[in-house]
Chain A
Amino acid sequence: MKLDELRRTERAVVTGLDAQGAERRRLMDLGVMPGVEIVAEGTSPLGDPTAYLVRGSVIALRRCQARGIDVDDGAHR
């Protein structure tokens, strides 16, 4: 599944990134890379961006970014 499908308080493990180049680099600098656990923390009033907890810090990702991140929430193995 994609990260944008993760609902508030749900957790999952990152399995892959669609992004390339600078965008991929950015995500990895924020700590989003395969094997890392990620938790959906909450969505801003307009529904975008969404806050995620990754490696002990909260980061904000836009929906289009989250859509490019593959995650496994344990239910779809």
Chain B
Amino acid sequence: MTVDLPIPSAVSPLAETPAASCGSCTLHNAANLKRLGLHVDGCDAVVALAGNPNTGKSTVFNALTGLRQHVGNWPGTTVSRAEGGFSLGGSAYKVVDLPGTYSLLSNSRDEDVARDFLLFGDPDVTVVVVDATRLERNLNLVLQVLQVTGRVVVALNLMDEARRHGIEVDVRHLSRELGVPVVPMAARRGEGVPELLGRIADMTSGETRVRPRRQQALAPVVARAVDELAGQLSAEFPGLANARWVALRLLEGDAGTERAVRDGSLGDLARQQTARIAS
């Protein structure tokens, strides 16, 4: 099944750098985060919540943030967004609830928003909330997120439902296969919340070693086309960190990516990435 997924093979080397954070340092990506409409003043790390619709994302969000939350829209859209925060071990975390999607690959405004945030907001940790009773379906999004960032914690939610249906999940094996931590949860009862907080903190501090599962084997003819196109993209948009990922999207005929190349917004984002490397 995995063989059939058209998964790109390259991601930003930046995405692999663990984000250092402490009480006094500023966010590593504040400019882009602001551009994406996020108020990040006074926080040390940004946590994004992704997941299929109806996996308990909002329930996890509430469990993490309690009453400290704010609801608005993503800039320039009617897609609603909840953001909130929590403190842990002396650090202030900002939590952003991304739109619930089955995919990151630009089929709708929701998916554009989620993908752009992961690509360009470069959150310190991305929690992908998955439904333990529909794991096969949910892993599609997990694998797509792993293409964009390795700093992922999988929240294996609805474990109470899974148990009720006699579904057992080998959590350690799953974690080994995906190369990122997996936390079993029943968020509605608060089960697994302290463990999730712990994994988020470990990921933020750079303590967690990840080996994100990625499909490497592109057909040679596709690999050549990706290389060629990525080269042209890098020449056109110096500093673009996800050139191969972008090239693959273009080859797939992805309309959103095409738009970003045509209207030059890809260039703005690349320039900000360059500024970040230089700083």
| Interface residues contributed by chain B, number (CB under 8 Å) | 18
Residues A55-76 near B (CB distance < 8 A): 55-57
- Complex: chain B residue closest to A31, CB-CB: B137
A42, B261: Cα distance in complex, Å: 41
* B107 engages A33 (CB within 8 Å): no
Q: Is B89 an interface residue, CB under 8 A from the partner?
A: no
Residues B133-168 near A (CB distance < 8 A): 133-134, 136-137, 140
| Binary interface encoding of chain A residues 11-26 relative to chain B, with 1 for a CB under 8 A from any of its CBs, else 0 | 0000000000110011
**Total cross-chain contacts (CB, 8 A):** 43
* A34 engages B4 (CB within 8 Å): yes
Q: Is B253 an interface residue, CB under 8 A from the partner?
A: yes
* B134 engages A56 (CB within 8 Å): yes
Among B5, B6, B102, B131, the one with the most A-chain Cβ atoms within 10 Å of its Cβ is B102
* A26 engages B136 (CB within 8 Å): no
* B4 engages A55 (CB within 8 Å): no
* A22 engages B107 (CB within 8 Å): yes
* B136 engages A22 (CB within 8 Å): no
Residues B88-125 near A (CB distance < 8 A): 102-103, 105, 107
Contact of A21 among B134, B136, B253 (CB under 8 A): B253
Contact of A29 among B1, B107, B254 (CB under 8 A): B107
A29, B137: Cα distance in complex, Å: 8
Q: How far is the CB of B32 from chain A (nearest CB, A)?
A: 26
Given contacts A21-B253, A22-B253, A25-B252, contact A33 B137 (CB under 8 A): no
Interchain Cβ contacts under 8 Å between A and B, 30 examples: A21-B253, A22-B107, A22-B252, A22-B254, A22-B255, A25-B6, A25-B103, A25-B105, A25-B107, A26-B103, A28-B5, A28-B140, A29-B105, A29-B140, A30-B102, A31-B102, A31-B136, A31-B137, A33-B1, A33-B4, A34-B4, A54-B137, A55-B134, A55-B137, A56-B131, A56-B133, A56-B134, A56-B136, A56-B137, A57-B134
Which B residues lie at the A interface, using CB under 8 A?
1, 4-6, 102-103, 105, 107, 131, 133-134, 136-137, 140, 252-255
Which A residues lie at the B interface, using CB under 8 A?
21-22, 25-26, 28-31, 33-35, 54-57
Please give 16 more A-B residue pairs, beta carbons under 8 A apart, in addition to A22-B252, A31-B136, A55-B137.
A21-B252, A21-B253, A22-B107, A22-B255, A25-B252, A28-B6, A29-B140, A30-B102, A31-B102, A31-B137, A33-B1, A34-B4, A55-B136, A56-B134, A56-B136, A56-B137
